[in-house]
Amino acid sequence: MSNQYELATFAGGCFWCMVEPFDEQPGIIKVVSGYTGGHKENPTYEEVCSDTTGHYEAIQITFDPAVFSYEKLLELYWQQIDPTDAGGQFNDRGLSYRTAIFYHHEGQKEAAEKSKANLEASGRFNKPIVTEIVPASTFYEAEEKHQDYYKKMSFHYNMYKEGSGRAKFIRENWKTKKSDEELRKELSPIQYQVTRQNGTEPPFQNEYWNHTEEGIYVDLISGEPLFSSKDKYDAGCGWPSFTKPLRHSEIEEKLDTSHGMRRIEVRSKSADSHLGHVFDDGPGPTGARYCINSAAIRFIPKDKLKEEGYEQFLTLFE
């Protein structure tokens, strides 16, 4: 491992669901699923699930702290779990599905304790935060079939994440929640129509259709990073077009049969905003063209990324 890289180890219930949120972040070198915290050497998945080994299902992240800090990893970690559940996570019950932060040095321990205390003080949950903070121990890689499960078995993974109750919990407890009344006051009429009423703004008469400055585009309501100028191109349609999102984990694609058509709608997971549609006539390797309404996004120029808390994306423009 390079001297500039560090390890972070987290248990958050089923490790299938813990890889995706970290995997697409800048500064993340790799994410491995495995087992740790127990007494059995080289355990199998079946042994760990039987709760006889003392191990947790966990992930180990190799990351560049100069790009993505440990504090940001902690922030993202909390948003994947129910930190008040001592008996497992969602439908997965038992010792191997408990939550824990395994620190690799004193700096990580202090950061984790501070992060946990901040979450307690925030009042987000009305029950105690029970996630443990413990020293890291030997980490055993899980079997190959469990690595990158969200990519290999995407349909089953998405069904499982929804069916287990994890996705619903995240939506209800961690995503941006503003009332309809608040949004009507905060947004312009076209912004409200697009994001909340699935509207479409006029082509060639919107803010970003021919915008070429370097930077990223974030969800107008939640601020979640969605697209990069690096992936933007002129599709000739009169709306901002991108070959891919910054992170697929922040995008939801749904069948849209409105107006007598069959299209794939694109929504942001964080705020459940209507963004636009995705088509298969793009120039990139996947053929995707994300056709997005300017009224659903906000642009942050490259030189303002650090100021606005998105410094991890500066590496895109180096």
The residues annotated as belonging to the active site are 14, 291
Residue 238 is classified by DSSP as S
Residue 318: Cβ within 10 Å count: 4
- Taking the C-alpha atoms of residue 106 and residue 113, their distance in angstroms, rounded to an integer, is 11
- Taking the C-alpha atoms of residue 42 and residue 28, their distance in angstroms, rounded to an integer, is 26
- Taking the C-alpha atoms of residue 232 and residue 125, their distance in angstroms, rounded to an integer, is 39
Query: In 3D, which of 8, 18, 30 has the Cα closest to residue 57?
Result: 18
- Taking the C-alpha atoms of residue 250 and residue 256, their distance in angstroms, rounded to an integer, is 19
- Taking the C-alpha atoms of residue 113 and residue 116, their distance in angstroms, rounded to an integer, is 5
| C-alpha dihedral sign at 18, 20, 22, 23 | positive
Query: In 3D, which of 37, 8, 1 has the Cα closest to residue 138?
Result: 37
- Taking the C-alpha atoms of residue 60 and residue 73, their distance in angstroms, rounded to an integer, is 12
Read off the tokens for 278: 């995705």
Q: Are 56 and 47 in contact (CB under 8 A)?
A: no
